[in-house]
């Protein structure tokens, strides 16, 4: 029987009612006690790493999670991390970069309703996650509401309903039906995982609104190493307000700027309109294409934790990792080999 390590980090699944609202208080052992039949699926051992509302999760916690998996990697066949839903997609993306090419499953799950509630998705989600962790499901994924989603492609798209997560610009890896994993896509992996242990948390995100000027971008770039700008439609910057000059000035000082889109599906394409074309041809701004904002954020932190060299940053950004980008990227010179994608 497969051995699975259940790593608790908090979240709604572990929450109880307090005078100040829901707060994570249950341990992994207490969560597991609600699943009496799990012993028929796998042998589970518990480890309580954190007990946080996921709003409080930070890059330092991603490093703790990756370190925990690394330290126990040889002892278990798979890993399940219970996590709050609000930042689960960021954590899944971050772990996809910190733990690459893993032949063993690293599954994140959580719930929209706490384990102790009469109406809860906790039991089904945790059971499904443990089942997937005992299967041949390489790499990092989110298992939620019967779906298996690639770690670099997940996004929380519903704030309350059980159908909380969607796979963005990429098919689901599989679904669970009546306790059976039906896999559509198998992630590629290596014989052994590749672990990384550094991140640069100085990555900021700016969401444009009509009429915005450069002041906020200047402020963020003065305090961070990279800025992700969520623009409109397929991408571009307003011609008024000094944005072009702002990006040019800060890139000349060695800062990294990435253009992405506020639109969830289908991605960016800066070359379509005049407001985006010059950013690529004249400035060499990086573009997210079909990547999620969560993946762009985590990938930049991973890259800038390794190098600040502009050409190397660009090369690594456009190198596919764990299926995070599919768009053919001419600005990268040529398609680099995938560091653990999906096939």
How many residues make up the chain in this entry? 343
Catalytic-labelled residue, pool 9, 12, 292, 319: 12
Structure tokens belonging to residue 156: 């929380």
CA–CA separation, 343 vs 339, rounded Å?
12
CA–CA separation, 133 vs 77, rounded Å?
8
CA–CA separation, 318 vs 24, rounded Å?
38
Contacts of 178 by beta carbon, 8 Å cutoff, 6+ apart: none
Residue 27 designated active-site: no
Place of tokens 């063993």: 104
Catalytic residues: 12
């Amino acid at each position: 029987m497969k051995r699975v390590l259940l790593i608790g980090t908090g979240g709604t699944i572990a929450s109880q009612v307090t005078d100040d609202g829901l707060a994570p208080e249950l341990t992994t052992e207490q969560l597991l006690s609600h699943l009496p039949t799990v012993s028929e699926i796998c042998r589970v051992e518990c480890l309580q790493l954190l007990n946080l509302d996921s709003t409080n999760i930070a890059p330092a916690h991603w490093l703790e999670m990756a370190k925990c998996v690394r330290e126990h990697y040889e002892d278990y066949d798979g890993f399940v991390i219970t996590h709050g839903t609000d930042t689960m997609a960021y954590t899944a993306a971050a772990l996809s970069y910190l733990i690459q090419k893993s032949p063993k499953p690293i599954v994140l799950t959580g719930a929209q309703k706490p384990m102790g509630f009469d109406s809860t998705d906790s039991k089904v989600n945790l059971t499904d996650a443990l089942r997937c962790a005992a299967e041949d499901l390489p790499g990092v994924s989110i298992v939620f509401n019967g779906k298996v989603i690639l770690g670099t492609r997940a996004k929380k798209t519903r704030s309350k309903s059980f159908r909380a997560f969607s796979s963005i610009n990429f098919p689901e890896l599989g679904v669970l039906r009546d306790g059976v994993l039906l896999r559509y896509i198998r992630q590629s992996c290596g014989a052994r995982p590749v672990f990384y242990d550094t991140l640069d948390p100085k990555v900021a995100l700016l969401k444009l609104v009509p009429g915005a000027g450069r002041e906020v971008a200047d402020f963020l770039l003065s305090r961070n190493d990279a800025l992700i700008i969520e623009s409109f439609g397929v991408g571009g910057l307003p011609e008024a307000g000094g944005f072009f000059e702002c990006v040019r000035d800060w890139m000349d000082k060695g800062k990294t700027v990435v253009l992405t889109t506020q639109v969830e599906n289908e991605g960016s394409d800066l070359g379509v309109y005049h407001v985006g074309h010059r950013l690529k041809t004249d400035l060499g701004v990086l573009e997210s294409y079909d990547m999620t904002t969560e993946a762009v954020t985590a990938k930049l932190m991973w890259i800038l934790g390794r190098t600040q060299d502009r050409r190397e940053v660009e090369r690594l950004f456009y190198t596919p990792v764990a299926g995070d980008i599919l768009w053919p990227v001419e600005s990268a010179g040529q398609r680099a080999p995938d560091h653990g994608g999906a096939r």
